[in-house]
Amino acid sequence: MKFKITLTPSNYYQDAKKSKYQNPVVVESLEDFKKVILKDYACAVYKNNHRSIDDFLYADAIVFDIDNDHSENPDNWITPDKVSSFFYDVPIYIQYSRNHMKIKNEKPARPKFHIIMPIDKITDAKEYRAMKEKVYSIFPFVDGQALDSARLLFGTDEPNVDYIDGIRTLTDFLKECDDEAKFAQLGETIPEGSRNKTMHSIVLKLLTRYGLCIESLDNPYLVRSLDMDYVLNH
């Protein structure tokens, strides 16, 4: 694994009221990850071991929840593979939720999981939250109610985890999105040798412009935005 991440476990189990989170752990493998999540944990380090926004010290990893409550159509549900396809080249730790693929509130079972990605170290709680909000703005399938800088995740006595490898941090991915947004315009012809990056940029722009939903991928503007001669001949 190219990147290490720091997680802070507690001595508690599924207790959201507790705030003492101590002894940060550097995670370098899936086995390390499994050990940490046996107890409630956070993806940041806090002053005096007190998990709170005001006591935020730093984070080199960022977490999001995916509950798939945006649609009742299974074709539109987000899976870890779809997350990885969007945040391409970014490593992702996955912890499947206790309600993963279980019927809840009389709704059909669906994928539910947490994703954790490495970032460049952040030492400001507001900056950390701003990064979460930025991800939510381009990928609104994460839980928008779980973006604060003191977020905790419940531990599990039977860890169900996975890992998708990558070669860059989420910070670098977001920088690339910013750079592409400066020149990627709908209706442009895809230049030779840069089809993947340009298509990603166009899709990202469409997701933003047309309601930030998977259905946007069927929008006729996507067809118009591509050079069909190129697509048909490659």
DSSP letters for 32-75 = HHHHHTTS-EESSEEGGGB-SSTTEEEEEEEEEEE---S-S-GG
**pLDDT per position as a tens digit, 76-106:** 889 999 999 889 899 999 999 887 777 877 7
Show the beta-strand stretches assigned E in the chain: 5-9, 25-27, 41-42, 45-46, 56-66, 92-96, 113-122, 152-153, 161-164
pLDDT for 232: 36
pLDDT of residue 119: 98
Alpha carbon separation from 61 to 4, 125, 144, 175, 199 (Å, rounded): 9, 13, 18, 16, 28
Low-confidence ranges of the chain (pLDDT < 50): 183-192, 195, 206, 209-234
Asked whether 95 and 37 are in contact (CB, 8 A), the reply is yes
pLDDT given for residue 217 in this prediction = 46
pLDDT of residue 51: 97
Rounded to the nearest 10 degrees, what angle do helices 125-138 and 170-183 cross at? 60
Per residue in 27-56, pLDDT tens?
999 999 999 999 999 999 999 999 999 999
Element (H, E) at 122: strand 113-122
CA 67 to centroid of chain Cα atoms:
12
What are the strands of the beta sheet with 56-66, ordered from one edge? Answer: 45-46, 56-66, 113-122, 92-96, 161-164
pLDDT value of residue 80:
93
Q: How many CB atoms lie within 10 A of CB 165?
A: 12
Q: Under a CB-based contact definition with an 8 Å cutoff, are residues 45 and 29 in contact?
A: no
